[in-house]
Structures are given as C-alpha cells and as structure tokens.
Amino acid sequence: MKQLVDSLAIFGGAPLFAEPRPIGQLAAPPVDEYLALLKQAFELRWLANGGPMVLGLERRLAEFHDTRHCIAVANAGLGIMMLLRLFAGNRSGEVIMPAFSFRGLPHFARWAGQQPRFCEVSVDTHTLDPRAVSEAIDSNVRAILAVCNCHSPGDIDGLSRVAAAQGIPILFDSVYAQGATYRGQVLGGFGAAEVYSLHATKLLNGFEGGYITTNNDDLAARLRWQREFCLPSIRPAGVAENENILGINAKLNELHAAMALLSLDHFDDIVAGNQQRFEAYAEVCSRLPGLRLVTAPETGERRNYALMIAETTPPWPLSRDQTVAFLRAEGAAISPYYSPALHRSNQDSRNLPMPELPVTNALASRFLQLPGGELVSLDDVRAIGRLLEFLVENGTVVASRLLERGIV
C-alpha cells in the first residue's frame, strides 16, 4: 500500500506489480489434458489439413452459436479478408466500418481490394449507428463490416434492416461478443456471416486461430474451398470452374483445434471468472468519482465480461492518457481503448480527406482498458482499487507533477 506520492512507480517508486498484469484472457486448460489430446493426433499422423479435431471443433462451435456452419480459419483477420473478397466479387470498392475499432480492420479491407469508409458510432453502444450507415451507402459500397462490442453487440436489427434495404451484405466482427446474446438469441447467425477469434488473448484460446459462422450453405461451401487455395480437386458442387474466387491458405490445424476444444469445455468457468473480476472492478469504481466501468445494459442478455473498459470523466484527476501512463508504470499493462480513432491515425488516413466523426472523436479520448483475464486475481483488482483511491486523494499533486514531466 503506497503512502507517499514519491512511492508511485511513475515517480521512481517500486511498481505495484513486479510481474505486469495483462489485459488478455490467456485462459489455459490443464497442460496434461492438452498434451494427451496432441498425442492422439500424433498417433493418427493427421496434423495439418482438415483433421478430426478441426471437424469436431467446427461441429461444436456451430452448436454453440446455433448456426448451420462453422468454418475454422487460421485467424480472424484472414476470415474477414476472405469474406470481404467474396462479398465484393473481387471488384474494388469500399467497406463501411467504424473508426472506433481495432486497427487491423482497414488493412483487412485493403487486402480485399476495398477502401475503408469510416462511419459514425452510437454513443451508447460504441457500435455503428444505422442512420449514419444508411446515409453513407452509395454504389461504391460493397459490404458493411459491423463490430459487436464486449458490453453490447449494438443495434443488430437496425443495421441488418439498412443492409437488406440497400442489398449490401453485412458482416459482423463478433470477436469481442463471443457467447453474448441479442434479443435472447446467441450471436453467430446474424448478417451474412460473423467472424470470431481463437487467439490466446481472446475468450476461447486456440493459441491462434479463428472461425466464421453462417447459416448460408453456398457461402460456407465457398469459404471452405477458398481457405484451401481453391484447389481444383476439392471444388464444391454448384461452384463454376471459372468463378472468380481468390484462394488463400487459411487452414486451421489440429494443434489449435485441440486447444480450442478444451477451452470450449471451460467456457462457462471462464465467463464466471470474468464476471467476478468485473464485479470487483465495479465495487472499486463505486468509490472512485469520475471513473466509470462500462457495463452492459440490464436487459437479461448474456455477456462474457471479457474486457474491463473504464471511462474517465470529471472530476477524475488525470486525463485518460495520464491514467494510462500512471497505471502502466505500476505494472498494470492497460491500454487506451480504440485510440486514436482510425480516421485520425496517420497510418490509416494517409493524408487523405477523412470524415468528421464527433461521437467517435469524443469516445476515443475517454476510455481505457484495465487488466483482466486469468492472470489477474481478485486481490489484484482490489490492489489496483487501493492505488487508484490513493491517486484520487493526491490527485492535484500527481496531476501537476505529471504535467511537469510533459505527460498530458
């Protein structure tokens, strides 16, 4: 417990956590269970393409998401690239997406021959605003890439209506909403397809990997062909030999599938652990004026509580970026949340004219992601709470000393 401002790590004191606490889920099933499964795969000598564990994982995930199909892929980004190529029929064009989101999205669109068209989000859900999407659609738009958040999947019905009315395919990046429900229905079958990740930092840990869920049989057949180079020997029935589909190597293999299967067995426990941490943070924040934990609306929907997102507003003594610097120094490896917004990063705007997105700009300045996942205990959360209470008590001094050091 820190007693002096000088003992804060950012001013040279020892950090609260000698071993930094991460923000990713990093769930790991018992290592021996995993190694036993791998041994089976070795004995079968079937480790790479379409083995029994990949097929089993696809079957179980389709059940989990209540969809007709699950197509395992090497990672979620490749899944998005594949879908955007298919939706655009390889014509160049634009993809509508939020600017308040993951930095990879505009890159994936460009790989698929598309330019990103950044669109405004709703202040409540932080997801695409259907009215803004409707206004942005013109003849260049080939697809809508909507992102479902951890605390809210967004206005899925509103977005789906806009997409249907304009005849534009809509794809949901539901990586952060794994296991969540919308109007009582588990996510997976909304839009033309949904994409999920199996990266170690995500809810279901396959070390790396991803998958696509869909109820569209034709789309599923094309995706299965596409992820394996569009090899002529496995061309699906109903797809013409010269149909313009770009093949890629996006196969998942048995090593990843085995891990993801075990992770799926523990899914409820993982979410329960997340909820406990979430409630501990909520308790902490209730004593911290100006730090608000972003919560799901109380609608009876299922959430996974994977991300601990907090909002800094007055009278919080520090700016968001100061808070990030302050906590990182203490070994709490937090990050600003979706900041800078994509339309304002030099990397994505590349000096091109970009839209004004006032809600996005405001959101991008206020949120941060606190440590979470399996490597963060409830005691860790309470220790972070005590540290932040100390910060509040000494807010004026800390803020001015940070300013002196040029940390704004």
Angle at 404 between CA 402 and CA 408, to 5 degrees: 50
Does residue 183 interact with its own copies by CB under 8 A?
no
Question: Does residue 42 interact with its own copies by CB under 8 A?
Answer: yes
Query: By three-state DSSP, how is residue 218 classified?
Result: helix
Q: Kindly state the smallest distance separating residue 390's Cβ from its own copies, in Å.
A: 28
Amino acid at 58: E
Which x/- pattern, by CB under 8 A, does the window 341-360 give for its own copies? ----xxx-xxx---------
CB 90, min distance to its own copies, A: 8
| 329 belongs to the binding site for its own copies (CB under 8 A) | no
Q: Kindly tell me which residue out of 44, 48, 272, 403 binds its own copies, with binding defined by CB under 8 A.
A: 48
| Least gap, CB of 224 to its own copies (angstroms) | 15
104 forms part of the interface with its own copies (CB under 8 A): yes
Say if residues 279 and 286 touch (Cβ distance below 8 Å).
no
Nearer to its own copies, 125 or 365 (CB): 365
Angle at 82 between CA 105 and CA 97, to 5 degrees: 30
Helix (H) / strand (E) containing 400: helix 395-404
140 near its own copies, judged by CB under 8 A = no
Question: Half-sphere exposure of 108 toward its Cβ, with a 13 Å CA cutoff?
Answer: 23
Question: Which CB sits closer to its own copies, 1 or 240?
Answer: 240
Q: Is the peptide bond before 340 cis (omega within 30 degrees of 0)?
A: yes
Candidates 26, 282, 354, 407: give the one binding its own copies (CB under 8 A).
Answer: 26
Q: Does 380 interact with its own copies (rule: CB under 8 A)?
A: no
Strands 335-336 and 170-173: unpaired
Q: Quick one: 82 or 284, whose CB is closer to its own copies?
A: 82
8 A C-beta contact, residue 98 and residue 360? yes
Closer residue to its own copies (CB): 253 or 322: 253
Residue 305: CB minimum distance to its own copies, A? 21
226, 107 in Cβ contact below 8 A?
Answer: no
199 binds its own copies (CB under 8 A): yes
Amino acid identity, position 296:
A
Q: 128 by DSSP, 3-state: which?
A: strand
Q: x-or-dash pattern for its own copies, window 206-245, by CB under 8 A?
A: -xx--------------------xxxx--------xx-x-
User: What gap in Å lies between CA 382 and CA 160, rounded to an integer?
Assistant: 41
* Residue 93 sits in the site that holds its own copies (CB under 8 A): no
**Counting beta carbons within 10 angstroms of the beta carbon of residue 381, is it exposed (0 to 12), middle (13 to 18) or buried (19 or more)?**
buried
Closest CA to 167 of 142, 146, 148: 142
Smaller CB separation from its own copies, 229 or 267: 229
Backbone angles phi, psi at 182, to 5 degrees: -135, 120
Range in contact with its own copies (rule: CB under 8 A) among 102-110, 115-123, 277-285, 323-331: 102-110
Amino acid at 406: G
Which residues ranging from 261 to 320 are in contact with its own copies (CB under 8 A)? none
- Rounded to whole angstroms, the maximal C-alpha distance in the chain is 73
Check: CB of residue 74 under 8 Å from CB of residue 223. no
Please identify, among the stretches 100-108, 141-149, 280-288, 292-300, the one whose residues bind its own copies according to the rule CB under 8 A. 100-108
Select the span of 26-34, 157-165, 286-294, 396-404 touching its own copies (CB under 8 A): 26-34
Query: Are 296 and 322 in contact, with CB atoms under 8 Å apart?
Result: no
Question: For residue 227, is it left (φ>0), alpha (ψ between -120 and 50) or beta?
Answer: alpha
Q: Which of 185, 249, 299, 313 binds its own copies (CB under 8 A)?
A: 249
Q: How far is the CB of 17 from its own copies (least distance, A)?
A: 15
**Residue whose CB is less far from its own copies, 124 or 269:** 269
75 binds its own copies (CB under 8 A): yes
> Which of 72, 97, 148, 200 touches its own copies (CB under 8 A)?
200
Question: Which residue has tokens 């979620």?
Answer: 76
Q: Which amino acid is at 222?
A: R
Q: Which residues bind its own copies (CB under 8 A)?
A: 26, 28, 31, 34-35, 38-39, 42-43, 45, 47-48, 74-78, 81, 85, 90, 103-104, 107-108, 110-111, 113, 199-201, 207-208, 229-232, 241-242, 244, 246-249, 251, 253-256, 345-347, 349-351, 375
